[in-house]
Amino acid sequence: MVFVRRMDKQAVTELFSKHVSPAKARFFTAVGIDFVPGKREGVWYWDLNGRKLMDCHCNGGVFNLGHRHPEITRVLKDALEELDIGNHHLMSEHRAILAEKLTKTMPGDVERVVFGVGGGEAIDFSIKLARGHTGKKKIVYARGGYHGHTGFALAAGDEKYRKPFEPVAPGFVAVPFGDTAALEKAVDSDTAAVLFETIPATLGMPIPSEEFYKRVREICDEKDCLMIMDEVQTGLGRTGRMWGIEHYGVVPDVIVTAKGLSGGMYPISATCFRAGLDDFMAEDPFIHVSTFGGAEIGCVVAQKVLEIVSDNSFLENVNTTASLISRDLNATKEEFEFVEEIRQKGLFMGIKMNDEGYGPLLSISCYHSGILAVYANNDTSVLQFLPPLIIHKEHVAYISENLRKAFEIASKRKDMLKLIRAML
């Protein structure tokens, strides 16, 4: 049976607009990125008309291993011969095996796991965990951050995402990311947890100082609250270390992972935490459940993901290619005056420019130069740049050549900035 190109692109656009999201269809058509994925393989996407792009968006890290990684595809096919999603009420061989493998990759004494389907659900549970364990209510988070669109996760996100749905859950207090003085002032005796993305992607990838998380850890210890790290995008090798927080030499109480754990093939997320934090579940182990969380076929996929990304040679390749891209990006920064800063940890990169219109403009320019990349929604002056972690030197050459073309296009279309700003 054929699954790709069952309809032409125009028919898909019309059907999508009618039954799924007319606003989304209008937006992509208006900005000239009416890309409908068809064939996908490795680092490449083809649209239904055959247009080829290198995927340097990766859906925020879902496609860390590229599209349809052969080992992931094979293990999923094999698992389907014996398994289904399992029953979340019962004990599970496959959840147990995955949990053991996952916790072995964790820093310090993070050794317990609760599985979910997506990152928002995993963040929701991390907040349940903090409140259930401490008996406190306040959650301190970063202004302009993003943790998902579900209940507690929505309350810990930027105002633009929650405003239409207020009132949201109470007890959430925002502070500027990286501001330890503001954090010290916000965290008090009623604080259950401090929740940060290790490097906030949607905020434009601001890189925290070397000392920031050490002070966060101290503040959490002083006020007896949990330190929760959202590693949905920065985890699983993306920054050149297994977990982004490892760059900062501290051990949080909770680490949340999702996206890349799926291998791009089966959705799964995990809230990983120190033993004892789930003491409130001893009385009722069913107080939190997820019907599809930790689906057994998904666990098999995630085990293979961990096997691949925890290999030393895999992380060495991430760091090698990151260094090559860094060299070329910094050369580009010197050439184009509208580029202010290159923000980078491994293959987690943000290109900061001097106008909020440049993020969307460069996204469009990349598209016309053979690269899929998108701007940071909470700081549109930044282009997010997340190539698959499987890239090699020949891919770096493609990125450098075509990203430079995109910069050249953007530099010649400054006339579009005012229009783009009006649309934001």
Tens digits of residue pLDDT in 20-33: 999 999 988 888 88
Strands 269-274 and 339-345: unpaired
Strands 191-197 and 339-345: unpaired
Q: What is the pLDDT of residues 321-379, one digit of tens each?
A: 999 999 999 999 999 999 999 999 999 999 999 999 999 999 999 999 999 999 999 99
Q: What is the pLDDT of residues 360-376, one digit of tens each?
A: 999 999 999 999 999 99
Q: What is the pLDDT of residues 86-144, one digit of tens each?
A: 999 999 999 999 999 999 999 999 999 999 999 999 999 999 999 999 999 999 999 99
Distance CA(27)–CA(172), nearest Å, equals 32
Give domain limits for the chain.
Answer: 40-69+312-416, 72-309
**pLDDT above 80 (res 419):** no
E strand segments, 79-201: 110-116, 138-142, 172-175, 191-197
Q: What is the pLDDT of residues 185-194, one digit of tens each?
A: 999 999 999 9
Distance CA(125)–CA(123), nearest Å, equals 5
E strand segments, 108-208: 110-116, 138-142, 172-175, 191-197
Give whole-number Cα distances, 150 to 146, 157, 161, in Å.
Answer: 11, 10, 10
pLDDT at 314: 97
Query: 3-class SS at 373?
Result: coil
Q: Does domain 72-309 have CATH number 3.10.450.50?
A: no
Fold observed for domain 40-69+312-416: Aspartate Aminotransferase, domain 1 (3.90.1150)
pLDDT at 160: 85
pTM: 0.96
The phi-psi region of residue 310 (left if phi > 0; otherwise alpha if psi is between -120 and 50; otherwise beta) is: alpha
